Amino acid sequence: MLIMKKENTYCNMKYTVARALSFATKNFVRNVGISMVTVAILTIALLSLNTLFLLKNATDAGLSAIQDNVVVRLQFSIDAPTKKIDEVVKMVTALPEVEQADFVSADEVKKEFTVRHTNDKDILAALNALQSNPFGSALKIKAKTPEEYTKILEKISANGYNNLIEQKTFGDHEAYISKISSLSKNITTVATVVSILFVFFAIFIIFNAIRVTVYSQREEIAIMRLVGATNGFIRAPYYIESLYYTVISIVAAFSITYFLVQVADPFITSSIGAGVFSLQAEFIHKLPILLFLEFLGIGLLTIVASTFAMRRYLKI
């Protein structure tokens, strides 16, 4: 009579997996209260991550839309010599930072002014009372990136053309962009901190849920050990249970996010500009990678939490 080191006559992986799944499902249902709280907390954590992602995308798109519309306008003084203005136009057009430079004649400037003040009869009457065009010509400059506007203006100044220019309109845009960037950064920071807090909270809840399950099944576990169940088989249902938490909360979080995106999309689109950005399209476009990353991240964290819960309370 020999005791065999490798006797494993009826161990079948197919049945082992099926039973581990069945045990995990029973655990989930048996502790349904704890399971639901765990799923709810994990869903909130995922919702905050999704919000962070969407917020980042929406503010980036908004900033980008604003930056695309930023144009520096150099308003030449009325007495600036045409030759000198031509020099400025040539110099600016040749700058590597400039994407486009459009010269606006004095007549066109006046016309733009008239269009802008169509409803202001007093201003138009005052303009018409003047014998000559009170406006000088202008130059609209679009830089390749918003950061390059300062450089362009510095170069104009360095070439001694400042005395030709009556007004530069960049200052307002710069302050506007800076404010939005700062707001966006602050929102992102707060959302990141909140998300991290929720994720840690969720991990703690999962740790606790698995710990309670293990404790409530200590007799079952003792019997499993006694009759020769492998450590892997004893642990598997708890890992599967944490996987259930992950999958259910991801489905719930993405369903809620999709619904909220549908509600918010028209408002965001109208704010940023139709055809420029759609939150819904962005969400659908990034959905596969977002799902993958969150499943991987939360899945790994739940596995780590479960391992710690088992290591501490399931001494096999």
Q: Identify which of residues 115 and 226 has a Cβ nearer to other proteins in the complex.
A: 226
215 touches other proteins (CB under 8 A): no
Phi-psi region of 69 (alpha: psi -120 to 50; beta: other; left: phi over 0): alpha
Place of tokens 């390059």: 148
Residue 229: how many CB atoms within 10 A of its CB? 17
Q: Which residues contact 310 (CB under 8 A, 6 or more apart)?
A: 210, 214, 235, 238
Interface with other proteins (CB under 8 A), residue from 56, 117, 225, 286: 225
Question: How would DSSP label each residue in 77-91?
Answer: -TT--HHHHHHHHHH
63 touches other proteins (CB under 8 A): no
Name the one range near other proteins by CB under 8 A: 154-162, 203-211, 217-225, 265-273: 217-225
| Token digits of residue 145 | 């990136």
Q: Identify which of residues 17 and 36 has a Cβ nearer to other proteins in the complex.
A: 17
Per DSSP, 301 falls in state H
Is 209 in contact with 245 (CB distance < 8 Å)?
Answer: yes
69 touches other proteins (CB under 8 A): no
29 touches other proteins (CB under 8 A): no
Q: Identify which of residues 207 and 239 has a Cβ nearer to other proteins in the complex.
A: 239
Interface with other proteins (CB under 8 A), residue from 81, 171, 228, 266: 228
Describe the crossing of helices 121-129 and 106-116 by its angle, rounded to 10 degrees: 150
Is 174 in contact with 153 (CB distance < 8 Å)?
Answer: no
Which residues within the stretch 124-183 sit at the binding site for other proteins (CB under 8 A)? none
Interface with other proteins (CB under 8 A), residue from 119, 128, 129, 219: 219
Q: Identify which of residues 13 and 94 has a Cβ nearer to other proteins in the complex.
A: 13
Per DSSP, 162 falls in state G
32 touches other proteins (CB under 8 A): no
Q: Identify which of residues 162 and 231 has a Cβ nearer to other proteins in the complex.
A: 231
223 touches other proteins (CB under 8 A): yes
Residues in touch with other proteins (CB under 8 A): 1-8, 10-13, 15-16, 19, 219-220, 222-231, 233-234, 316
